[in-house]
């Protein structure tokens, strides 16, 4: 007898937990959630912030999407890079974007970046880490330029440079050796590009292209792709066979002859809903 799923409580249902554990013990393979593998990074530079991300989405060992967008829009002055479970990231950032827009309309002024940070961490903490979203939130508001790293359990850090995802260590090694305060825009973009490239080439969960998003007090510029790091190879020649390669020795045409024509009425059968 099937149990009716209780829809009265919002949030995650854990009623199937015991059954799932039992199935795993018996050898049933749990379906892989689509993760983003990922290298994401963000830095504060002289005029604002630069966010960067790779573009590979993995489903276990397979690349599910070669060119997915990991820099999500929140507000005209705020973007958010996401690492972790792809679905959770998409839904969380879209939810946040609408909440922040409502906030902006409600207050009548530009939303401060701390507001997004606070709203994200309150939501993620409420779900106790079950929403697998690790975020690098960056934005510029009337107070300052901000970069926040937000972890799935709801802790946040405000930092001048940060990385997240499986390629975060490779990207962080670039930042630790080359970050300086008050960098120029060109230098900052190159640094973030190099950090993501470190992740793309040294981490198997990250790959394909590098996207960049530069946010200053004048607005945000999304550059997608900033760097096509992995170009698909060009075919060296044409491999099709030329017409006439196979010699035609003789041709016979036999048309289909219509012998008889009958008309049969098709009755509609009712679907068996017993």
Partner 1 sequence: MAVPGVCLQDFPLWSGGPTPGHFYNFPGNSKMNTGKSHTMYPSTSGTSVVGLVYDGGVMLAADSLGSYGSLARFRDVKRLFKVTDKAALACSGDIADYQFIREVIEQKVRDDVCGGYTRELNAGALHCWLTRVLYNRRSRFDPLWLECVVAGYKDDEPFLGYVDKIGTAFEAKEVATGFGLHFAVPMIREAREKKQNLSCDEARKLLTECLKVLYYRDCRAHFKYQLADITPEGVTIHDDLNLKKETNWEVANYISGYE
Residue numbers at the binding site for partner 1 (CB under 8 A): 44, 114, 117-118, 148, 155-161, 169-170, 172-174, 176-177, 179, 181, 194, 197-199, 201-202
- Which residue in 197, 227, 207, 195 sits closest to 56, CA to CA? 207
Q: What is the nearest approach in angstroms of partner 1 to the Cβ of residue 155?
A: 7
Place of tokens 């120029």: 184
Q: What is the nearest approach in angstroms of partner 1 to the Cβ of residue 158?
A: 6
Annotated catalytic residue within 36, 38, 162, 163: 38
**Contact assessment for residue 118 and residue 146, using Cβ atoms and an 8 Å cutoff:** no
Place of tokens 């106790």: 128
Give the Å distances, CA to CA, from 223 to 80, 81, 191, 211, 213.
14, 14, 15, 6, 6
Nearer to partner 1, 133 or 150 (CB): 150
Length of the chain: 274
Q: Measure the CA–CA gap between 33 and 85, rounded to whole angstroms.
A: 7
Nearer to partner 1, 21 or 184 (CB): 184
Give the distance, in angstroms, between the CA of residue 148 and the centroid of all CA atoms in the same chain: 18
Q: Any idea what the Cα angle at residue 227 is, between residues 225 and 233, rounded to 5°?
A: 100
Nearer to partner 1, 52 or 199 (CB): 199
Rg (CA), the chain: 27
Nearer to partner 1, 182 or 267 (CB): 182
Nearer to partner 1, 79 or 148 (CB): 148
Whether 38 is catalytic: yes
Q: What is the nearest approach in angstroms of partner 1 to the Cβ of residue 77?
A: 18
Ordered alpha helix ranges (H), the chain: 17-26, 86-107, 113-126, 168-178, 185-202
Q: What is the nearest approach in angstroms of partner 1 to the Cβ of residue 36?
A: 18
Q: Which burial class, exposed, middle or buried, applies to 63 when counting CB atoms under 10 A from its CB (0-12, 13-18, 19+)?
A: middle
Q: What is the nearest approach in angstroms of partner 1 to the Cβ of residue 197?
A: 8
Q: Which residues are catalytic?
A: 38
């Amino acid at each position: 007898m099937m149990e009716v799923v209780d829809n009265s409580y919002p949030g995650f249902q854990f009623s199937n937990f015991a059954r799932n554990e039992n199935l795993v013990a018996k050898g049933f393979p749990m379906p892989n959630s689509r993760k983003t593998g990922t290298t994401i990074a963000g830095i504060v530079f002289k005029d604002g912030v630069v966010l960067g991300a790779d573009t590979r989405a993995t489903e276990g060992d397979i690349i599910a999407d070669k060119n997915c967008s990991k820099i999500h829009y929140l507000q005209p002055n705020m973007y958010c890079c996401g690492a972790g479970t792809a679905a959770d990231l998409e839904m969380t950032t879209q939810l946040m974007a609408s909440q922040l827009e409502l906030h902006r309309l409600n207050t009548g002024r530009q939303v401060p970046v701390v507001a997004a940070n606070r709203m994200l961490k309150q939501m993620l903490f409420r779900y106790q880490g079950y929403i697998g979203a690790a975020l690098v939130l960056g934005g510029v508001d009337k107070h300052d330029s901000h970069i926040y790293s937000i972890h799935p359990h709801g802790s946040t850090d405000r930092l001048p440079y940060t990385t997240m995802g499986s390629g975060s260590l490779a990207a962080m090694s670039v930042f630790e050796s080359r970050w300086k305060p008050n960098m120029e825009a060109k230098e900052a973009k190159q640094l973030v590009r190099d950090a993501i490239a470190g992740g793309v080439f040294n981490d198997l969960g990250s790959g394909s292209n590098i996207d960049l998003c530069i946010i200053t007090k004048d607005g945000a510029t999304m550059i997608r792709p900033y760097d096509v790091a992995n170009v698909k190879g060009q075919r060296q020649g044409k491999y099709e066979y030329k017409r006439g390669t196979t010699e035609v020795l003789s041709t016979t045409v036999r048309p289909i002859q219509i012998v008889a024509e009958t008309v049969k009425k098709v009755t509609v059968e009712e679907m068996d809903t017993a």
